[in-house]
A and B are shown apart, each in its own frame.
Chain A
Amino acid sequence: MDIFLQQIINGLTTGSVYAIVALGYTMVYGVIQLINFAHGEVVMIGAMTAFTVIMAVVGLGLPLPPALIVLLGVLAAVPVCMAIGYTLERVAYRPLRHAPRLAPLITAIGMSIILQHLALLIWGRDPRAFPQIMENASFAIGGAAISTVQIAIILMSVVLMAGLTWFVYRTRFGIAIRATAEDVRVAALMGVDANRVIAATFVIGAGLGAIAGVMVGTYYGIAHYTMGFTLGLKAFSAAVLGGIGNLAGAMLGGIVLGLVEALGTGYIGDLTDLCRWPLVGGMLAERCEADGHAILFGSNYQDVFAFLVLILVLVFRPSGLLGERVSERA
C-alpha cells in the first residue's frame, strides 16, 4: 500500500470537512469579528439530527436508495442548524454587539456548553453508530484506495465551496455581505440592514456546518455529543491558518490542515520509532529486538497536529496564509 498517496486521499477528505466548517467561523468573523465558538456544536447537532432521521427512515424499512436516505438526513439537519445559528445570533450575540469583545467571546463559550448539554439530554452520552447504509465500495488508485463516501464528501465540498463563492461574489446580497464586512456604517448608507447581513452569515455558516456534520458522521460512522468540540477547534485552526475572515483562506486552510494531519498521523509512528534513531536505538537494543519498534508518538497523536499548526501560525504568521497583514486592516 502506498501510505503517502493513501494519506493524501484521507487528508483531502477530512480537509474538505474542515474547510466547510471553517467557512462558518470565517464568515461570521469577517463581518463582526466574533469567534463563534459554538459553531462546532452546531455541526455536532447537524450530525445528531441527521443520525436520528436516518435511523427513523431506515427503521421504516422502505426500499429507498441509501444516498436518498442520507439526503433526507441532510435535509432535516440543515434547517435545524440554520434555526440554531439564527437563534444564537439573535439571542446571544446581538444584545452584545457593542459590548467589549470579551463579553461575546465568553458568551460563545457558554453557548457551546449549553448546546452540548442540550445534545446530551436529547441523544444521551453513548456514541451513536451511524448506520452504514451507503455501500462503501473502494476504488484502487495507484496503490491506494478511495471509498465512495470519500468521493462523495470531496465532491460535495467542492460544490458547496463553489456555490458559496458564487453567492458571495456574484449576487447582490453576497456583495452586500462583503461591503458590510468592510464597513458596516457605509453599507448602511447604501440601504444594507446590518442585522440581516449578520444573521445571514450565521444562518449560512450553520447550514454548511450541518452538511459537514453529516459528512463526518457518515465518514467515521459515529456521532457523539462531544464531537463538536475537537472538530470545531480544528476547523477554527484551519480558518486561522488560511487567514480568519478570508473565505478562500478558510477553504485552503481546511485542505492544508487535513493533509498535514493525515500525513503527520501516517508518518509520526515511523518518525518517532526510537529503534530507527542510531544513538537511542542502541540503548534500546533489547526492546527493539523483541518488539521490532519503540514508538514514542503513535497515530493516536492525530489531534495534536491541528493545534501545532494553530500555534505555529499564531506565532509566525498571525494573519494566516491568505489574510492581509494585520496592520493593513483599517
Chain B
Amino acid sequence: MTSQPYALLEAVSLEVHYGGIAAVKGISFAVEEGELVCLIGANGAGKTSTLKALARMIDASGEIHYRQERLDQLPSHALIGRGLALVPEGRGVFARLTVAENLAMGAYHRNDRAEIKHDLDRIYAMLPRLKERAEQVAGTLSGGEQQMLAIGRALMGRPKLLLLDEPSMGLAPLMVEKVFEVIRTVATQGVTILLVEQNARLALHTCTRGYVMESGKITLADTAANLLADPRVRAAYLGE
C-alpha cells in the first residue's frame, strides 16, 4: 500500500438498527492519530450505539476502518489486540472480581509479564485509590472509584485508541473533575481518544474537535472552540 487513505479510525455510513428502529442513521466521521475528539448529543441521540458498533458489540452496517484494516468483520474480542479499547457506559467493571483482578483482565491479551507489572505500578501511581483497594471486590467501590477502575483497566490493555462512553455519568462534580484530569493525562501520553459525553461544556473544553449527534445523525462537526461559540450548540447543549 502506498498511500494511507483513512484516518486512524474512520466510520463510513455507519448504521445501527434495533429491530425496525434506526438508532444510528448512516453517520461518517474520523479520528486522527493523537486527537482527543468528542461526540456530544442529547439522550437517545445514538452515541452509545455508535461506540458499541465501533467495538463490535452490536451489529451495524457501513464500514469501520481502523489502522487501514476493516473492523466491521472482526469479533469484539479481536479488537483489544489491535489497540482498541472501550470503557462502556455504566463502567462495566466486574463487580465480583477484585480491583486487582479487574486490572489483570485489562491486560488479558498481553503476554509481556514484566511490562504488565510496570503498567500496573504506573496505574496505581496515577490512581492511588485503586492501589489501596486492590484486594477489594469491585462491586463495593464507589461510583467514581469504579469509573477510575474502568479507565485503569482499559489502560492496562495499552490501547492506541480509547473509546470512552460518558465517564462523568452519575459522578459528583469533584469526581468528574478528577476523571477528566485522568483523561487529559492519558491523552498527553499519546493515546488517541474518542469521548462520548452529555456534559457538553466539559467535553468541549477537553477535546480538540467535536461532533454533535442528534437523533442518529451527525449535525455538526467542528473544532471544539468553534462548537463552543456556535449559537446552536450554546442553545441546545450549553444551556445558554
Residue positions of A touching B, CB distance < 8 A? 172, 175-176, 178-179, 182-183, 185-194, 330
- Indicate whether B141 reaches chain A with its CB closer than 8 angstroms: no
Contact of B92 among A175, A176, A183 (CB under 8 A): A183
- Indicate whether B101 reaches chain A with its CB closer than 8 angstroms: yes
- Kindly specify which of B14-22, B73-81, B122-130 makes contact with the partner chain: B73-81
Q: How far is the CA of A175 from the CA of B96 in the complex (A)?
A: 11
Contact (Cβ within 8 A) A188 B108 = no
Q: Which residues of B contact A188 (CB under 8 A)?
A: 57, 75-77
Contact (Cβ within 8 A) B97 A191 = no
Q: A183-B92, A185-B57, A185-B76 are in contact. Are A190 and B97 (CB under 8 A)?
A: no
Interface of A is mostly: helix
Contact (Cβ within 8 A) A189 B85 = yes
Contact of A179 among B81, B86, B97 (CB under 8 A): B97
| Residue picked from A175, A178, A189, A194, most chain B C-beta under 10 Å | A189
Q: Which residues of A contact B169 (CB under 8 A)?
A: none
Q: How far is the CA of A190 from the CA of B108 in the complex (A)?
A: 6
For window 48-105 of B, CB contacts with A under 8 Å fall at: 55, 57, 75-81, 85-86, 88, 92, 94-97, 101, 104-105
Question: What are 12 of the A-B contact pairs (CB < 8 Å)?
Answer: A172-B104, A175-B105, A178-B96, A178-B101, A179-B94, A179-B101, A179-B105, A186-B92, A188-B75, A189-B55, A189-B85, A190-B157
Q: A176-B105, A190-B109 are in contact. Are A182 and B97 (CB under 8 A)?
A: yes
Q: How far is the CA of A194 from the CA of B55 in the complex (A)?
A: 15
Determine how close the nearest CB of chain A comes to the CB of B80; give it in whole angstroms: 4
Q: Give A182's nearest chain B residue, CB to CB.
A: B94
Determine how close the nearest CB of chain B comes to the CB of A296; give it in whole angstroms: 46
Determine how close the nearest CB of chain B comes to the CB of A29; give it in whole angstroms: 15
Q: Which residues of B contact A175 (CB under 8 A)?
A: 97, 101, 104-105
Q: A172-B108, A186-B92, A189-B55 are in contact. Are A178 and B97 (CB under 8 A)?
A: yes
Q: Which residues of A contact B81 (CB under 8 A)?
A: 191
Q: How far is the CA of A176 from the CA of B106 in the complex (A)?
A: 10
Instruction: Contacts A191-B157, A192-B105 known; list 11 others, CB within 8 Å.
Output: A175-B101, A175-B105, A178-B97, A182-B96, A182-B97, A187-B105, A188-B76, A189-B80, A189-B86, A189-B88, A191-B78
Contact (Cβ within 8 A) B108 A178 = no
Q: Give A176's nearest chain B residue, CB to CB.
A: B108
Q: How far is the CA of A193 from the CA of B97 in the complex (A)?
A: 18
Q: Which residues of B contact A192 (CB under 8 A)?
A: 77, 105, 108
Q: Which 3 pairs from chain A and chain B are nearest by CB?
A: A191-B109, A188-B76, A186-B92
Q: How far is the CA of A183 from the CA of B94 in the complex (A)?
A: 7
Q: Give A193's nearest chain B residue, CB to CB.
A: B77
Q: Give A174's nearest chain B residue, CB to CB.
A: B101
Q: How far is the CA of A241 from the CA of B10 in the complex (A)?
A: 52
Q: How far is the CA of A191 from the CA of B85 in the complex (A)?
A: 10
Q: Which residues of B contact A183 (CB under 8 A)?
A: 92, 94
Contact of A190 among B95, B96, B105 (CB under 8 A): B105
Q: Which residues of A contact B75 (CB under 8 A)?
A: 188, 193
Q: Which residues of B contact A176 (CB under 8 A)?
A: 105, 108
Q: Which residues of A contact B106 (CB under 8 A)?
A: 190
Q: Which residues of A contact B55 (CB under 8 A)?
A: 189
Q: Give B56's nearest chain A residue, CB to CB.
A: A188
Q: How far is the CA of A182 from the CA of B95 in the complex (A)?
A: 8
Contact (Cβ within 8 A) B80 A191 = yes
Q: Give B55's nearest chain A residue, CB to CB.
A: A189
Q: Which residues of B contact A186 (CB under 8 A)?
A: 88, 92, 94
Q: How far is the CA of A118 from the CA of B86 in the complex (A)?
A: 47
Q: Which residues of A contact B92 (CB under 8 A)?
A: 183, 186, 189
Q: Which residues of A contact B88 (CB under 8 A)?
A: 186, 189
Determine how close the nearest CB of chain A comes to the CB of B162; give it in whole angstroms: 12
Q: How far is the CA of A179 from the CA of B85 in the complex (A)?
A: 17
Q: How far is the CA of A194 from the CA of B57 in the complex (A)?
A: 13
Determine how close the nearest CB of chain B comes to the CB of A319; give it in whole angstroms: 15
Determine how close the nearest CB of chain A comes to the CB of B135; give it in whole angstroms: 12
Contact (Cβ within 8 A) B94 A191 = no
Determine how close the nearest CB of chain A comes to the CB of B95; give it in whole angstroms: 7
Q: How far is the CA of A188 from the CA of B79 in the complex (A)?
A: 9
Q: How far is the CA of A194 from the CA of B108 in the complex (A)?
A: 13
Contact of B80 among A172, A190, A330 (CB under 8 A): A190
| Residue picked from A175, A176, A186, most chain B C-beta under 10 Å | A186
Contact of B77 among A172, A182, A191 (CB under 8 A): A191
Q: Which residues of A contact B86 (CB under 8 A)?
A: 189
Q: Which residues of A contact B105 (CB under 8 A)?
A: 175-176, 179, 187, 190, 192
Q: Give B88's nearest chain A residue, CB to CB.
A: A186
